[in-house]
Structures are given as C-alpha cells and as structure tokens.
Structure 1
Amino acid sequence: MTLPPLRDVIARHGLAARKSLGQNFLLDLNLTARIARGAGVGPASQVYEVGPGPGGLTRALLEAGARVVAVEKDDRCVEALAEVQDAYPGRLTVVSADALDVDERTLLPEGGPVQVVANLPYNVSTVLLAKWLTVAEWPSWYAGLTLMFQREVADRITAPSGGKAYGRLSVLSQWRTAPRRLFDIPPSAFVPQPKITSTVVHFAVLPQPVAEAELSDLKRVIDAAFNQRRKMLRSSLKGVGIDTEILLADAGIEPTLRAETLNVAQFCAIARSLNRLRAAG
C-alpha cells in the first residue's frame, strides 16, 4: 500500500496545527529518515513515539523496520494514522491519550529495549523529558531517547558547567544519560513554520548515574541552587533544611561557589551529604 503525501493527509483530515497542542508538523521525509537513523532504529527496534501528528516520523520509523507504539492526544491525528496502520499491518499501535498521564510500561510490549523517538510538542517537551529522566527505577524502561526540542532547550540540556545555559535541566539530563546534539532543523521544514530553529538530541542511557544520589535529594539541591543562581551556595541552599556551612563542608564544596560552577558529581555529593546529615538528626 502506497501512502499519500503528508500534505494530502493534512488537507483531507483538516489537520490545521493547533497552537494549544504545541503542534508543528515535520513534513520533510528526508529529515524524518535522518532522525530514525540518528536514533539507531532498525528491524529489531521497539519504538515509543509521542505526538506523531499526521505520521511523518512514524513512517520513517516503520520504514526502518521498527515496531512502534505512538501516543497521540489529538483525535484528528489518530484518524489519519489509521492509514499508516493499514500500510504496516501489526507494526503500529496508536494510543489515544495524553503522554503526560500515561504509564509507558503498561503500553509497551515486554522484551527488548525500547527507544523513545519523537518530535515533541514544544509546549510539553521539557516536562516530558523531566518525566523520563526522573523515573524511580534505573536503568529504566527505555534504552535511549532521541528527541526534538527548540534549539535553546537543546543548549540547556547539553550545556557544560560554567555558563549561563547550564541549569537544572543540564544536571538532570547529564546525571543519568549522555546527551548529544545530532543536528538542527530549520523552521522551513515544518508546517506551520515556527519562529525558532529546532535541534535533535540523542540521550545515551548510562548503566549507572554519573554519581550516586537519591533522586529526591538531588532535585531538592538543584532546585534550591538554581532558583537563586546568582547567589553563593551558602545562601542559595538555605532552604534545604540543613545549615549550609555544615552541609557544604561535609560535601567538600566551597560555600562561596555559585550553582553554575558545579559539575553533576558535585551536586550529587551535596545531595548525599543532605541525606546523611538529615538522617543523623
């Protein structure tokens, strides 16, 4: 079965992109194929996709040989994806749901690693990424993430310590994964055209986090530190519940440093000290 051009699918199903859903449809099939290659998708791959829209990236994943579970919130797109299901019998499962609310483990088949590959809706991209990076169990249900973001979000994800782009999202991303920028995509590749450039980022899952820390403690530390990033740590960490001079001395961190100068391992050291000192009373 030959699938119609994506522009025809959009016109026939009345798929005018909805700003409320953060929709920008990627229609360039060369680019969708490049994303699939960047994710390392092949005939043995199990893929979880969020926000497939009219199915441009979905087609590329299926053409690469993958089996795909796609979660789509927009009922109009669910109807359009039925054609893709017919073209690839038994290889595409479309779930009508909000990806923010689903438990992915209940949707995905058992056995084999799962790759998350998605052109994420801009308005929920960082929320979804944080959801996947902060799962309770590690290693997680996925073996890798290949995701599209606004370029400035990709800058924050991959930023090294010491710069203005480095922050909470940098630490969370680099604690359990090794994020790497693959390539940029210009606004002209989308319908409608966004005002910004997009960037595809691949997150290689680390078998163990960069350094040991309880997730809740690490989040508490980085939230406090970056909420007042211009202040020294002895001031910005006052809200964590332990005297900051004692906390930072225990972690071996200079209290006059600022959040953006610490690497991931140093934040983990503070989180471990927080856990230890709190337990000691």
Structure 2
Amino acid sequence: MGAIDNLPPLREVIARHGLAAKKALGQNFLLDLNLTAKIARQAGDLSRCDVLEVGPGPGGLTRGLLAEGARKVLAIEKDPRCLPALEEIAAAFPGRLEVVQGDALEIDPLERLTPPIRVVANLPYNVGTELLVRWLTPEVWPPFWESLTLMFQREVAERIVAQPGSKAYGRLAILAQWRAEARIVMSLPPGAFTPPPKVSSAVVHLTALPAPRHPADPKVLSRVVAAAFNQRRKMLRAALRGLAPDIEDRLAAAGLKPTDRAEQVPLEGFCALARELQAAK
C-alpha cells in the first residue's frame, strides 16, 4: 500500500470507521497511497498553493496532497461518516488541512482559500461533470484556479479532450478547450478502486489560459454549442435554425458550411459563429 506518512493504511482506517463506499454518493475509494501520491504529483509543485479537494472520502488523495507539500488543503466532504478519518489526517498535518462538511455545489471555497489555488480531486461520479462545467464557466476569466487535476470516468475524460470529427467531441470539449489546456495524464483500471466501478477512470489535467483561445461572448457561444450538439445528427442549418432567421447567411459569414454537422466544426468555427450572431443583433 505504500507509506507516504505515519498514518495507518487506508484499509485499516476504513474498517475502523465503518466507511463502506455508498453508491448513492458516487463513492469509489482509492486505497493505494502510492497511487494517490502519483495523482497529487500530476498537479505540479503544490508548496506555494492552496488546494481544493472535493469528495476526499477517507482521505487517500488528501494524504497524497499533504505528503507532496501542499501549502493548505480545503477538503469538502458530504458524507459525515468520513469526518473522523479526515480529522485524524488534520491532526497529523497541523494547520494544513481544513475539512468542511457539506455539498460542494453549495459551498463557496474562496472564503477559505488564498491564491494561488489548484483543484485536485477524485470527483464523486454523480457531480463531477457539473462541477467541471461550473469551474469552466465563471462570470470572470481568468478563474480562481490555476489548474484542475480531476479524476473522471474514462468516457468523460475522453469527452473533455476530444477533437473535431470524433464521437466524443461535444459541448464539454468546447467548454474545456476554449479557455484551458486539457490533457489526460493518467489512466486507472476499475481494480484500483474499492468497490471497483464498472468502468475505467482517467485523470485529466486542465491549465487555465490567461484568455480564451478565440474571442466570443461566453453566453452566445454556450447557446450556439448547446443548440448544435443537442441535435448533432442534423445539419447546422437545421440544428441552429432557432438562433437566427438568416442562419445560413451567418454560417457562411463565419466560414462554416450549412450542411456540416456539429462534430465537424472546430472550436474556432463555433467562436466565429458566436461573433457573427452577436454582431447581427
């Protein structure tokens, strides 16, 4: 299991506190501390950063982050059963771990963190995508985070880094790649987790860009992309008809073919169309 600190092995912690993973909370625990330390290292040098972790569970990744030198870790955990195990970690790393019980979708972490901030998490499967979209679509850019190092189901990870022309390419790829550099940095088999999920997992590392790759109004771009991919089998002129009465002219002005489908359109093309629609208002 690997000893990265002086705390007991995670299996012992889980048994002592009765922490059987709950499916309803999207829990799958990583017990190999060498593996959690490796995930923490994917986030880079943490010694000058505060780290936000969502869904720490019994604290395997938390221990990896602290052992790798994170200045401070704010761990948000919904399951009250995990709090005693996390408090034991806090006692072993005085002043460096703050644990907050609650729903990450409802808690503002910025009240408790000091920049620079990085997010590192084995996200609960049931809220992972929603949290990612929130972090990618703040009102103001650059965001509060320098980077996101997040574990997802492999299928979700592939959607984040997908390129035009692939079936995985869609709204998530556009949102992620418009404002960030995204790449898969680790793959994990089901057997790495307890209980083993039915699918493989992957860690995605996203680095915030200082500004979006191409100019576009975020709300207009979001509307265009949603309309295009909600009917991805239709040609653009049909899928986007509701956005403008002269949509074929707008598509042509943006350098796009009305007969193309959403998955054929590169990020730059969606941004160009968003600018055209904005200018036509």
Corresponding position of 2:44: 40
Residue 211 of structure 1 aligns to a residue whose secondary structure is: coil
Indicate whether 1:71 and 2:73 are aligned.
no
TM-score, length of structure 1 as denominator length: 0.95
Could you tell which deviates more after superposition, 95-104 or 179-188? 95-104
Equivalent in the alignment of 1:130: 133
Give the count of matched residue pairs. Answer: 276
RMSD: 1.2
AA aligned opposite 1:17: A
Are 1:4 and 2:8 matched, yes or no?
Answer: yes
Runs of 4+ in 1 over 4 A off after TM superposition: none
**Does 2:116 align with 1:118?**
no
CA displacement 1:150-201 (0-9 Å, x = unmatched):
0011111111111111011111111101111111111111111111110011
Letter in 1 for 2:37: A
* 1:22 partnered with 2:57: no
- 8 Å contact kept, 1:21–1:121: yes
CA distance, structure 1, for counterparts of residue 280 and residue 107 of structure 2: 36
Alpha-carbon separation, structure 1, partners of 2:47 and 2:231? 48
Does the C-alpha gap of structure 1 residues 88 and 264 become closer, same or farther in structure 2, counting only changes over 3 Å? same
Identical-residue share of aligned pairs (%): 59
- Asked whether the equivalents of residues 120 and 148 of structure 1 are also in contact (C-alpha less than 8 Å), the reply is yes
Report SS of the residue matched to 1:122.
coil
Tell me the CA shift for residue 242 of structure 1.
4.3
Whether contact under 8 Å (1:242, 1:274) holds in the other structure is no
- Answer whether contact 1:242 1:277 (CA < 8 A) is retained: no
Distance in 1 between residues matched to 2:279 and 2:141, nearest whole Å: 21
Q: CA deviation at 1:219?
A: 0.8
Counterpart Cα distance in 1 of 2:48 and 2:120? 15
- 1:103 alignment partner, one of 108, 117, 121: 108
Contact 1:229 1:236 in 2 (8 A): yes
> Which of 220, 223, 228 is equivalent to 1:225?
228
* Corresponding residue number in structure 1 for 2:62: 58
Query: Taking structure 1 as reference, are residues 242 and 145 closer, same or farther at Cα in structure 2, changes over 3 Å only?
Result: farther
8 A contact 2:48–2:116 mirrored in 1:
no
Q: TM-score, normalised by structure 2?
A: 0.95
In 1, Cα distance between the equivalents of 2:126 and 2:244?
A: 33
For 2:175, the equivalent position in structure 1 comes to 172
Q: Within 1, Cα distance between the matches of 2:150 and 2:120?
A: 6
Deviation at 1:43, TM superposition (A): 2.0
What is the SS of the residue equivalent to 1:274?
Answer: helix
Separation of aligned partners in 1, 2:192 and 2:81: 22
